[in-house]
Amino acid sequence: MNHLVVLYHRARSLLSSLLGTRFNELVWRFRHIYRRGWAEGLTTSASHPHRKLLAEKIAFHAPFTDVLEIGCATGPNLYVLARKFPNARYVGIDINPNAIKHGKMFFEREKIRNVSLLTRKADALRFPDKSFDIVFTDAVLMYIGPDKIMRVTEEIQRVARKAIVLVEHHSEEESPIGVNRGKWWLRNYVKLFQPYTREAQCTKITSDVWGGNWSQFGYIIEMEK
């Protein structure tokens, strides 16, 4: 079994090297096919401790009227925010149409009307400039390689009016382009967004909030425009 795991990771690294970000886009685009029940399970994950911490950080930037999440999956973060700040408008985009479908059904069942979910990619947001007070991500940019990260960064800063909030694997010691850690990229997000933002604050994610690699590399990075 361990031999198969090693072969899997080697194959994934090779495909990632050959296809760049396109490989991870395919992985997440079709995730519901090879991980049955993945999308359905996400709608019940709103209670994960990091979502409460993220909502508290976003609350610091109130008042706000429009919020965008890039890589929202079925929208558990948006569910937490919509209940905490019911007067704002929330939009979530994701590359996986199955997740968007289940998210829409979830919000309809919950009778939450101020959340809209769309199937789109992070490097082609297709929103007007400064459309949202706050733009945030949650474990999304870490899967975007050097071939697309600058384009995604430009798109995020373009549509954000007040603040950008990221939940990502972050290191002050790495370059903005980042280093490949196998499945994901580790980079310095403060430096990456420095040309577009005024102030940045980084909050370490502790093991009681999120274990594994997140307790080592996880941060919430808040940047004001």
Closest CA to 60 of 141, 152, 149, 133: 133
Closest CA to 193 of 164, 218, 167: 164
> d(Cα 98, Cα 174) in Å, to the nearest integer?
35
Q: Residue 75 has what pLDDT?
A: 96
Rounded to two decimals, the pTM is 0.91
Q: What contacts 47, CB < 8 A, 6 or more positions away? A: none
Edge-to-edge strand ranges of the sheet holding 66-70: 115-119, 89-94, 66-70, 132-138, 160-169, 218-224, 199-204
> d(Cα 220, Cα 225) in Å, to the nearest integer?
16
Contact (CB, 8 A) for 45 and 110? no
* pLDDT, tens digit only, all 225 positions of the chain: 465 544 555 666 666 665 678 888 877 777 766 566 656 666 678 899 999 999 999 999 999 999 999 999 999 999 999 999 999 999 999 999 999 999 999 999 999 999 999 999 999 999 999 999 999 999 999 999 999 999 999 999 999 999 999 999 999 999 999 999 888 999 999 999 999 999 999 999 999 999 999 999 999 999 999
Q: Residue 29 has what pLDDT?
A: 76
Long-range contacts of residues 37-45, Cβ cutoff 8 Å, at least 24 apart: 38/99, 39/73, 39/74, 39/96, 39/98, 39/99, 39/101, 39/102, 39/103, 40/102, 42/73, 42/74, 42/76, 42/99, 42/102, 42/103, 43/74, 43/75, 43/76, 43/79, 43/102, 43/103, 43/106, 45/76
Number of structural domains in the chain: 1
Q: Which domain holds residue 80?
A: 2-224
- Count CB neighbours of 121 within 10 A: 18
Q: Residue 41 has what pLDDT?
A: 65
Say which CATH number the domain at 176 has: 3.40.50.150
Residue indicated by tokens 């289940």: 102
